Structure 1
């Protein structure tokens, strides 16, 4: 397993360009002050020589520091400009004018120096073409070295290329909400318990994964909802959403039918089940919600944060096949393995930041060596993502602080009520008939 975890601001953008500009701006006064110091020291040296005292170039070190600060400030500005333009170029190449103001792009191109413009175009092209390189190389090497997958490697390469051409895998801000479907869902409470104290709240991503439905041995679990009530009377909710549980099953909302519906922009019974689980737990429109998800759950969480009635402020996904462009008020954390075939369907996500400025993308090549387990998509399972989560939790990267700060207030709740729900798929018309006859519920 690889020990290298890459934490970045977006799929293409590895740095926070605003932070680069702030640092560049802070270096400006330092550079100016060093120039003043150099002039003062040069004057002192001249005076010393006039007095018959030789001092070896007292201003030399100050001039050198001034030059370094000036060059570093200029370099940081250039990097910020390059990454900003590269993000616009990538979005324009992927979505045309849907997500990029043509006038703004033209203005950015005109303002950029030749080297900056060329570097931005190169970065954008390399990112667009290289988004599936790890997974395609993995499957090709597996097919060649292990000889057990037959056409799987080439087929996956064709699939990822088709996904890139079709423009799927990302949900831009201008995309419509989910189309209504012919199915609905019911949820049933499997277990509930109340707790108090700091240990009742997740402190990091490992705690989040350990609370995912099914991790506690409840095979029927699909959604876990925690209600946090504070002494002030305020409350907020945390939802944990499972990944796919079956291939195709009439009664199972978390199956491939739901996967296809969500991936192509249609409402699924699993999405409706999550909404109903939150409602059953007491959440109402406008309530503050944090959403954690795996695989298919990542698509549900993305649309819930983007289009749902709840005030989703945190959206964390593991191995999601899509990434949605979230509003500025949403802290988005996308954790994906570059050799995960499911995460590959997100085509690298967005080039820049999705959500608030503190949002991040976490990537890792979980298992670069070809193995028999590649056929079972082992790197997509929660056990593999738990290893990555542990690396993130122990990271000293300052970009993870925003997630820690978002989770920290949960530990101050007076009472935490945790409820686990199962779910069933239903046809909408039969559910309507049951409601009209007085039966049903959630």
Structure 2
């Protein structure tokens, strides 16, 4: 498991790891110091010491000329050291910048290829049909093989199931799979354009020029089709404040990224999905912090009253009527947060989509921190301070497609958990998405001195005293 974090931001990928640039800065500083000492040594070498008494006459006198020559040699060595250190520091920075340029070119290639592939599959229904047929054949062969083995040994069937689960777990935790998913999602709008018989890429580019992201457009179409088919039936929600056993009502203000993760609601049956805390800064002004947790209902049951479900996942990405987003706004009104108030939004997984949607709405004076969230479909104001944290092996952030330049106005922190290897054994189907792993990454962020990580949590600085903590549970109101 790696302790390195990659930090991106400001529209330019210029940093590989913090240690990389720190070393470059040290080399440049060393180069300046060597140059300064070389100047001093050169000034000494030109001084005339021939008439300066260097000691009692009984002591052998130093050769003033030899001293000047030694100082000149020292100055030359220091000058060479300065040039070498400066060149090496500059090369390190140039390497980081070239890395960023190559990465952007590769990303653009993936985006273009994904768009063309999406359009081709939409324009030629036989292509996705052939893919589905191949997948179906593999599944049928596996089922038949499993049934035959089951006639002889139930333990062998268990071994097959365990091996299949392990293989699937390793597949979805592969950075290559994550990149594939990101590219496929980015091509979803081109798939629809091809399906409707429109020219390749033309209308997708036109949508982007008008501020409509392709992924949001595709998600909106998918949500509308699902709702028409009776799969996604919208329902009103009701949020109420709840008291949980052992919860602290007058907490001290959080000060770090790790503390933000620690206070994230975990959800579950009858558990709160939203946490809101209120503090005051040194001037007496209110500072609010709103946490929204991750998906709780992973299926599509029509009888479920859980707003944090897959319908909200799709509709939130589509920027439409997500029940989880409406529930959070209700909770904020119940807590007494007025429009225009200073709010730090903190979200994990689906909660990050909700937090991003509210922050991007402009209703509040917002800052934003997300962990493991697909937030690429949102357009943020450039002055909205935000940090998005994701793991290279986590497929969930990839579900909103390729990263766009507009998101690079904030700061993106990436960390590879397995360094290209396989995840550790366990039952978690998405180990890289685990909240505990994001807490570990948050701890590494807190240990960083990178200045771009500060603006998103600047509201935490200067908070005084204890705060007020409230937790809210929201449910759908079914007919």
Between the aligned partners of 1:173 and 1:301, the Cα distance in structure 2 is: 25
Which segment is superposed worse, 58-67 or 71-80? 71-80
Question: 1:42: Cα distance to partner?
Answer: 5.2
Between the aligned partners of 2:82 and 2:470, the Cα distance in structure 1 is: 61
Pick one of 407, 413, 418 that aligns with 1:361: 413
Pick one of 271, 289, 311 that aligns with 2:343: 289
Aligned residue runs from structure 1 range 16-31, under 5 A: none
Question: 1:275: Cα distance to partner?
Answer: 1.7
Distance 1:195 1:51, change over 3 A: same
Quote the residue 1:321 is aligned against: 374
Between the aligned partners of 2:179 and 2:105, the Cα distance in structure 1 is: 21
Question: 1:409: Cα distance to partner?
Answer: 2.3
Residue deviations 1:286-343 (CA, integer Å, cap 9, x gap): 1111011111111112222223411212x11222133456433333222222233323
Distance 1:347 1:154, change over 3 A: farther
Question: 1:245: Cα distance to partner?
Answer: 0.8
Quote the residue 1:14 is aligned against: 15
Quote the residue 1:40 is aligned against: 43
Is structure 2 residue 306 aligned with structure 1 residue 305? no
Instruction: Give the TM-score taking structure 2 as reference length.
Output: 0.62
Residue deviations 1:10-29 (CA, integer Å, cap 9, x gap): 59543589999999997897
Residue deviations 1:93-138 (CA, integer Å, cap 9, x gap): 4667xxxxxxxxxxxxxxxxxxxxxxxxxxxxxxxxxxxxxxxxxx
Distance 1:176 1:184, change over 3 A: farther
* Secondary structure, aligned partner of 1:149: helix
Distance 1:173 1:46, change over 3 A: farther
Distance 1:93 1:41, change over 3 A: farther
Instruction: Give the TM-score taking structure 1 as reference length.
Output: 0.66
Pick one of 226, 247, 250 that aligns with 2:277: 226
Is structure 2 residue 80 aligned with structure 1 residue 64? yes
Residue deviations 1:35-74 (CA, integer Å, cap 9, x gap): 6446435545998988466744232332223313441464
Between the aligned partners of 1:43 and 1:146, the Cα distance in structure 2 is: 80
CA contact (8 A) 1:298 1:321 kept: yes
Distance 1:422 1:45, change over 3 A: farther
Pick one of 258, 262, 268 that aligns with 1:206: 258
Distance 1:401 1:375, change over 3 A: closer
Question: 1:270: Cα distance to partner?
Answer: 0.8
CA contact (8 A) 1:326 1:332 kept: no
Q: Structure 1 unaligned segments of length 5 or more: list them.
A: 97-142, 431-442
* Secondary structure, aligned partner of 2:426: helix
Between the aligned partners of 2:100 and 2:416, the Cα distance in structure 1 is: 24
Between the aligned partners of 2:471 and 2:187, the Cα distance in structure 1 is: 32
Between the aligned partners of 1:25 and 1:167, the Cα distance in structure 2 is: 41
Quote the residue 1:131 is aligned against: none
Question: 1:416: Cα distance to partner?
Answer: 2.1
Is structure 2 residue 432 aligned with structure 1 residue 379? yes
Residue deviations 1:141-167 (CA, integer Å, cap 9, x gap): xx9995133884698577852540341
* Structure 1 stretches of 4+ moved >6 Å: 16-29, 45-50, 177-181
Quote the residue 1:164 is aligned against: 183
Is structure 2 residue 287 aligned with structure 1 residue 236? yes
Aligned residues: 372
Question: 1:223: Cα distance to partner?
Answer: 1.0
Distance 1:66 1:231, change over 3 A: closer
* Secondary structure, aligned partner of 1:78: helix
CA contact (8 A) 2:181 2:401 kept: no
CA contact (8 A) 1:258 1:269 kept: yes
Question: 1:279: Cα distance to partner?
Answer: 1.8
Quote the residue 2:237 is aligned against: 185
* Secondary structure, aligned partner of 2:340: coil
Residue deviations 1:378-404 (CA, integer Å, cap 9, x gap): 432323323333343445666555566
Pick one of 312, 316, 332 that aligns with 1:258: 312
Between the aligned partners of 1:41 and 1:150, the Cα distance in structure 2 is: 71
CA contact (8 A) 1:289 1:311 kept: yes
CA contact (8 A) 1:337 1:365 kept: yes
